[in-house]
């Protein structure tokens, strides 16, 4: 009976040891899986951040392009209005000069409108 008890005790010790070894290997496996999951989540977070930055950079470039186009259109519109106003002023001036020359005296002269200045030579003869 003593050998049976010692065999049972040996079997119990062996099963206990096997249980410890299985639990240890499961713990190591779970820790390794956890490390891999943490690494993969950090890689995914970095990729997401890169995609977000790229999208932000693309959006910023598009916004600047829109702002530049709007500025060019506004400049073109302002220049067109200025040129129309300048042309209207020249027409009004020429009509006024003709009118004053008809009523007061004779105005001889010439004028030339350039983009940056107005050259004007006038000679007024009153009769």
Residue among 110, 104, 107 at smallest CA distance from 127:
104
Q: What is the pLDDT of residue 89?
A: 92
Q: Which long-range CB contacts under 8 A does 82-88 form with residues at least 24 apart?
A: 86/113
Q: What is the pLDDT of residue 3?
A: 82
pLDDT exceeds cutoff 70 at 19: yes
pLDDT tens profile 39-85: 999 999 999 999 999 999 999 999 999 999 999 999 999 999 999 99
Residue that is written with structure tokens 């107005």 in the block: 118
Q: What is the pLDDT of residue 4?
A: 87
């Amino acid at each position: 009976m003593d050998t049976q008890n010692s065999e049972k005790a040996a079997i119990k010790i062996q099963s206990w040891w096997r249980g410890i070894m299985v639990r240890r290997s499961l713990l190591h496996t779970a820790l390794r899986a956890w490390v891999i999951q943490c690494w993969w989540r950090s890689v995914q977070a970095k990729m997401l951040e890169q995609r977000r930055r790229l999208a932000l950079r693309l959006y910023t470039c598009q916004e600047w392009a829109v702002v530049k186009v709007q500025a060019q259109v506004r400049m073109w519109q302002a220049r067109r209005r200025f040129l129309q106003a300048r042309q209207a002023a020249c027409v009004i001036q020429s009509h006024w000069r003709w009118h004053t020359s008809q009523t007061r005296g004779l105005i001889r002269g010439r004028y030339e409108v350039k983009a940056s200045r107005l050259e004007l030579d006038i000679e007024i003869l009153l009769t």
